[in-house]
Amino acid sequence: MQYTTNPIVFTVLGIGARKEEDMTMTIDISIRFGAPWSLPGHMAGRTAAPYALGPVRTPRRRVRWHAATAVAAALIALGAGTILQAQDLLNVSYDPTREFYRDYNAAFSTWWEGQGHDAPRIETSHGGSGAQARAVIDGLNAQVVTLALASDIDRIAAAGKLPADWQSRLPHDAAPYTSTIVFLVREGNPKGIADWGDLTQDGIEVITPNPKTSGGARWNYLAAWAWAERSGQDPRAFVHDLYAHVPVLDSGARGATTTFAQRGIGDVLLAWENEAYLALNEMGEEAFDIVVPSVSIRADPSVALVEANIADDDQRALATAYLEHLYAPDAQALAFKHYYRAWDTSAADPADVARFPKIDLVGIEDFGGWAKVQPQHFGDGGIFDQIYVPQ
Amino acid sequence: MTALPRHRRAMPGFGLTMGLTLTTVCLVVLLPVGALLWQGASAGPAALWDVGSRPRTLSALALSFRLSALAALFNLAFGVLLAWVLVRYRFPGRRIMDAAVDLPFALPTAVAGIALTTLYAPNGAFGALATPFGWRIAYTQAGIFIALVFVGLPFVVRTVQPVLETLDREVEEASATLGASRWTTVRRVILPALLPAALTGFALSLARAVGEYGSVIFIAGNIPLRTEIAPLLIVIQLEEFDYPAAAAIGIAMLAMSFTLLLAINLLQIWTRRRTGDV
């Protein structure tokens, strides 16, 4: 089941109180529903009649108004974003892309100016993929979204902000770079973890975020499922067993990395490959090892243009170029540099490309696509919810 | 009612102050609560009941209210003690301690949560002490309890302190001259006078703990049925774009909190009457 909601926008025009002789009080509140300015797709301005609260006023001949005070006119607009100029662009992205987009924004701006345009002002916002999608649905004025999961962009499409066929508008199903899920273990791999099957042995603690709140965690879960299917186990029993070994369920990928790396909890962290390399980079190669399992999933972070937030043709040109340029050789090289498995190796540093070991990668299409996977596994009462029922 | 003569009040400004108050209460309290109820109403009572009666929801609500009550009880006892020490004794560093009591108010709760987690994690300063005994504090219910005690501590201290300061020592002396033992004086003279204020502090501390999110999610393991608090479950429902389910849990928490606070208020009225302090 799916729900969408419009932000409630209303204006309190005035509130007045008057005290009657018989010590009752009448309160008038007049409220106007709808935004005082035009917000496309939102509730149109409907004016509600003033409400009378409190004890019903009895008619009297001499009603003496001790006071009738109309005090406030307040605007409450939930989710009203800032209005951007044509040469401004807001990219709403997920957590581990911080470093990549910092570099890409600089590279793109230089290239765009080289094409004879004014310098664009590009801003990027990062957070949990689901929360970011919700912010865009609720009115965050993003022209492009670059999220962890296609299903999060599908949510935005379902809210009417971009066309349903967005995935066919860019090459490789609108995934300019991909990643996969690997294991991060403590230095020297003391528990001898080599593959998914080792994770459910006695005494092993696995750190992975909650798939309900983290996009990356859904890839973790699906990778485990894919391995169990390939190796002839009951996948449902295997993921059930796996999550019984999880002592802390963080809400996002960065939180899980902190729990594992800083707090010293757990024997193995299931992580995005790019996040695992980043952890090695930041915390020193002598602290952790990366273990690559026999089977994993091809995690496709997707990108799309948010049609509803495009102000004019200039901005459309900029936003379109911003997304299309992600597939250009120099941008692909940047993705490789930031530990993503991109598509075009022509301009990439061979060392960046050679870093990635070959893995048997399963795609989301092997599961029947997000439209099927999302409700079946992660929906309300889905397979993941059934793991956590009282025994 | 008919023969009531009308008086002009001694103080002006009833209309203005009442209007301002009502506006502020509407904007700050009633509108958000109204939006919550509206969201819940749009789903219908059957859907609300369906979400509210799930084992996972019930377990999260039970966990939140149980640990909040325990933390508030701890704060009640420790807060009265702390207030007593701060008011009755003079010692070096008293003012610093007095100021430190307010720190949980000033610190962003996320900072508190991360700091507590760092300390109580198995590799943290305190957590390392507990590890040899096979105890785990962070990522268990014990960790949640500690976080809730932290955020709720100032309430009892700050409500009891002014009452203690105005308490006449002569009353205690009178009690002693009438032959009461020291313990009887504490039990029959001082504690009854503190009880209404302490109950207020308890109620505030409880209410704060029930709704606490920021500091708890870092130190709780967030495992469903074991260490998942109700506010986190609300956030999870929001992540699933399931606004009515989130509203359902919110309404359940609101109803339970309201009942609890009402009960505490009634208890307070009763104790005031009993102790003759109207």
CATH code, domain with B234? 1.10.3720.10
> Is B76 part of any domain?
yes
Question: Closest by alpha carbon to B113, among B151, B70, B57?
Answer: B151
* Contact A15/B at CB under 8 A: yes
> Between chains, do A250 and B222 touch, taking CB under 8 Å as contact?
yes
Identity of the residue in A27, A155, A265 whose CB atom sits nearest the CB atom of B241: A155
In a domain, B20, yes or no: no
Tell me the domains of chain A and their CATH numbers. 10-76 (no CATH), 88-175+300-348 (3.40.190.10), 178-298+368-387 (3.40.190.10)
- What would the pLDDT profile of B234-278 be if each residue is shown by its tens digit? 988 887 778 888 999 999 999 999 999 999 989 888 887 876 654
B-chain CB neighbours of A72 within 8 Å are 23, 27
Q: State the nearest Cα–Cα gap between B121 and chain A, in angstroms.
A: 6
**Could you tell me if residue B165 is inside a domain?**
yes
Which of A27, A134, A263 faces B123 most closely, judged by CB atoms?
A: A263
pLDDT band at A77 (very low <50, low <70, confident <90, very high): very low
Contacts of residues A70-74 at CB distance under 8 Å and 24 or more positions apart, as own/partner, are A70/A14, A70/A15, A70/A16, A70/B19, A71/A14, A71/A15, A71/A16, A71/B19, A71/B20, A71/B23, A72/A12, A72/A14, A72/A15, A72/B23, A72/B27, A73/A11, A73/A12, A73/A13, A73/A14, A74/A11, A74/A12, A74/B23, A74/B27
For residue B12, being part of any structural domain is answered with: no
Contacts of A218 in chain B (CB under 8 A): none
**Structure confidence by residue, pLDDT tens digits, A203-222:** 999 999 988 888 889 999 99
B134 interaction partners in chain A (CB closer than 8 Å): none
* pLDDT at residue B180, as a whole number: 84
Q: Does A263 touch chain B (CB under 8 A)?
A: yes
Q: Do the chains contact at B55 and A66, CB–CB below 8 Å?
A: no
Q: Does A24 touch chain B (CB under 8 A)?
A: no
Q: How far does the CA of residue B33 sit from the closest CA of chain A (Å)?
A: 13
Domain that holds residue B65: 32-275
Identify whether B129 is part of a domain: yes
| Tally of domains in chain B | 1
Which residue from A68, A250, A265 is facing B15, i.e. has the nearest CB?
A68
Q: Is A380 on the interface with B (CB under 8 A)?
A: yes
Which residues of B are less than 8 Å from A207 in CB distance? Answer: none
Whether the predicted model's global pTM rises above the 0.95 cut: no
Work out the pLDDT band at B74, boundaries 50, 70, 90.
very high
**Chain segment A158-196, per-residue pLDDT in tens:** 999 999 999 999 999 999 999 999 999 999 999 999 999
- One-letter identity of residue B76: L
